[in-house]
């Protein structure tokens, strides 16, 4: 999930500033069984596989249903966009817990198309750390402290 600092008015302007963007990153893990939390989402995703396609969604479930249960264990660091120009303008929050999806569910995501074809194998190679500091929250903080941290980050983004 990508958030931009509201004082920059939109994503494109925010992407030009070192404090412009925050990304909450959830990694998928291929498992044998379906993750039924994603049933409605997957149903709608099929409708927008092609670039420029739109769909009207009714009775969509809250985004909290899709994210992981353990929100206390994560890494955070200052990093870059994963697509050109790869500008160093992102506060990354990477959660340790993965999101289990079946192989078929992952295949649904791979059917999405962008400007250069299907969105498969669209990852950026691992980059050197250089002097970057990575912070880890091990989950020893309470949910209230995590919420305060997240609200602080989002509050900074909304200034």
CA distance 119 to 114: 6
Q: What is the pLDDT of residue 4?
A: 94
Distance CA 65, CA 41 (A): 10
Q: Is residue 130 predicted with pLDDT exceeding 50?
A: yes
What percent of the chain lies above the pLDDT cut of 90?
39
Predicted structure pTM score: 0.75
Homologous superfamily of the 2-157 domain (CATH):
Alpha carbonic anhydrase (3.10.200.10)
Q: Averaged over 139-159, what is the pLDDT? A: 51
Q: How many CB atoms lie within 10 A of CB 73?
A: 16
* pLDDT greater than 50 at residue 112: yes
Which pair of structure tokens corresponds to residue 63? 């985004």
Contact 4, 20 (CB under 8 A): yes
């Amino acid at each position: 999930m990508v958030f931009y600092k509201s004082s920059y008015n939109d994503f494109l302007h925010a992407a030009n500033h070192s404090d412009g963007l925050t990304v909450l990153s959830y990694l998928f893990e291929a498992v044998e069984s379906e993750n039924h939390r994603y049933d409605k989402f997957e149903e709608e995703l099929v409708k927008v596989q092609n670039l420029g396609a739109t769909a009207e969604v009714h009775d969509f479930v809250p985004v909290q249903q899709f994210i992981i249960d353990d929100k206390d264990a994560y890494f955070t660091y200052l990093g870059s966009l994963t697509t050109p120009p790869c500008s160093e303008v992102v506060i990354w929050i990477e959660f340790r817990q993965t999101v289990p999806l079946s192989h078929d569910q992952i295949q649904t995501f791979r059917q999405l198309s962008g400007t250069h074809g299907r969105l498969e194998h669209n990852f950026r190679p691992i980059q050197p750390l250089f002097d970057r500091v990575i912070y880890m929250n091990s989950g020893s903080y309470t949910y209230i402290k995590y919420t305060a941290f997240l609200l602080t980050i989002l509050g900074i983004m909304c200034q």
